[in-house]
Amino acid sequence: MTSQDAFRHADDLGPHKILHVYQPTIGLKGTLVLDNVAIGPAIGGLRMAPDVSTEECFRLARAMTLKNAAAGLRHGGGKSVLYGDPRMPMDEKERLIRAFACALRGEEGYIFGPDMGTDEICMAWVRDEIERATGLPAMLGGIPLDELGATGWGLRHAAEVAATFCDLTLDGARVVVQGFGAVGLHAAKFLKEIGAVVVGAADSRGSICNPDGLDLDSLTALKRAGRSVAEAEEGRSDTPEAVVEIPCDIWIPAARPDVIRADNVDRLDARLVLQGANIPCTEDAEARLHERGILCLPDFIANAGGVICAACEYAGMDREAAFAAISSRIRANTLEVLNAARDGDMLPRQAALVMARRRVLEAMATRRWSVF
């Protein structure tokens, strides 16, 4: 690897450090990207999947730098990934996560949180090894953000503010959720509470559509039983990719990166896209949505509920204080970003980047070595 390859991601914000961890005797392969810790120690989730990459880890770490800054948290951005199937036997998964945590014991600028493929129990294993973990089970004094739906709670409040910018009434609004997991499930539930109707959902194995509305309890039961939403009886099932074409008012990507791209963006039939996942849309796809008049609220504004909750837990706050912080901060940031985008005739992501970068750069100006 040449120096050019090693530093191909480097810019004025970071990344400060990229570490690769390998232990062949147990099949451990992992990566940590510590992007920028000028504001404070990084909080970022541990993602587990068989097809993750250093590229994906860096992009996610940068999203966390921007997200934490935009949310006004005293934390920088980082991310870690483990290469493996999160559905592996539990004892094998525990061994890998504990070993990975031990390998990163000395990286005091990084605090683990749950992400795709990991949960509160995984964070309990990390805490047992090195202490630096948030998103813990309630029995350990944590606020179980996936169980309670912290990110979904934030998406609901982002939707309430964003709806006023695209002349959308949430009572009766049709919602489609791509990725009916911890984030997507709770986003659907919280939006239903204010009158929205979930007409489509998808997971990695299929999609389901019903223009009259889907039974969320039925979908939730299927997922908890390890089955696909496509097995639901009250709708029309299809492939996972078909979820892009389901007509709706609000489309929520809540799974993997780059699900909306140049090759499928024109098939999307929605008025508002709320990015429940990190980096779910490519830059050219977001530009095309803007051209089509579809409002797209970027990830590090819309889905910050989880990390706000994690930061509140790490600071010793309770659930009520954390959920109040989520609603107030996401509502304020969504309003600021969309006002700036409208007044400056720019994409919402551009307006959000200006805001978040300003906060990071202000912190960097106070540090001797800038990014750390």
Q: Is residue 335 part of a domain?
A: no
Residue 81, strand partner residues: 31, 47
Q: Is residue 273 part of a domain?
A: yes
- Considering the domain architecture, whether residues 129 and 158 belong to the same structural domain is answered as no
Contact 113, 43 (CB under 8 A): yes
Q: Is residue 253 part of a domain?
A: yes
Q: Is residue 328 part of a domain?
A: no
Cβ neighbours of residue 178 closer than 8 Å, sequence gap 6 or more: 184, 201, 202, 243, 244, 251, 252, 253, 254, 255, 259, 280
What pLDDT is recorded for position 146? 82
Please compute the mean of the pLDDT values over residues 82-86 and round it to a whole number.
96
Name the strands in the sheet holding 42-49, side by side, starting at the edge strand that comes first in the sequence.
17-23, 28-36, 77-83, 42-49, 110-114
Q: Is residue 20 part of a domain?
A: yes
What pLDDT is recorded for position 110? 98
Q: How far apart are CA 243 and CA 360, in angstroms?
A: 36
Q: Which of 107, 139, 171 is the last residue of a domain?
A: 139
Q: Is residue 359 part of a domain?
A: no
Cβ neighbours of residue 133 closer than 8 Å, sequence gap 6 or more: 101, 111, 112, 113, 123, 124, 126, 127
Q: Is residue 46 part of a domain?
A: yes
- Considering the domain architecture, whether residues 80 and 162 belong to the same structural domain is answered as no
What pLDDT is recorded for position 3? 56
**pLDDT over 70 percentage in the chain:** 99
- Considering the domain architecture, whether residues 175 and 279 belong to the same structural domain is answered as yes
pLDDT single digits (tens) 134-169: 999 999 999 988 889 999 999 999 999 999 999 999
What pLDDT is recorded for position 4? 63
**Token representation of residue 109:** 């600028």
DSSP secondary-structure letter at 135? S
Please compute the mean of the pLDDT values over residues 77-96 and round it to a whole number.
97
- Considering the domain architecture, whether residues 157 and 294 belong to the same structural domain is answered as yes
- Considering the domain architecture, whether residues 127 and 49 belong to the same structural domain is answered as yes
- Considering the domain architecture, whether residues 200 and 231 belong to the same structural domain is answered as yes
pLDDT single digits (tens) 198-225: 999 999 999 999 999 999 999 999 999 9
- Considering the domain architecture, whether residues 97 and 58 belong to the same structural domain is answered as yes
Q: Which of 304, 327, 346 is the last residue of a domain?
A: 304
Q: How far apart are CA 234 and CA 239, in angstroms?
A: 16
Q: Which of 265, 285, 304 is the last residue of a domain?
A: 304
Q: Is residue 81 part of a domain?
A: yes
**Banded model confidence at residue 45, pLDDT cuts 50, 70, 90:** very high
Contact 66, 95 (CB under 8 A): no
Number of compact structural domains in the chain = 2
- Considering the domain architecture, whether residues 275 and 159 belong to the same structural domain is answered as yes
Residue 84, strand partner residues: none
Contact 200, 229 (CB under 8 A): no
Contact 79, 33 (CB under 8 A): yes
Catalytically active residues, by annotation: 79
CATH of the domain at 85: 3.40.50.10860
**Token representation of residue 189:** 């539930």
CATH of the domain at 288: 3.40.50.720
- Considering the domain architecture, whether residues 124 and 170 belong to the same structural domain is answered as no
- Considering the domain architecture, whether residues 162 and 135 belong to the same structural domain is answered as no
Please compute the mean of the pLDDT values over residues 352-364 and round it to a whole number.
96
- Considering the domain architecture, whether residues 154 and 298 belong to the same structural domain is answered as yes
* H/E element, 291: helix 283-291
Residue range of the domain that includes 40: 3-67+75-139
Name the strands in the sheet holding 206-209, side by side, starting at the edge strand that comes first in the sequence.
236-238, 206-209, 197-203, 174-178, 250-253, 272-274, 295-297
pLDDT single digits (tens) 247-264: 999 999 999 889 999 999
- Considering the domain architecture, whether residues 13 and 60 belong to the same structural domain is answered as yes
Contact 352, 301 (CB under 8 A): yes
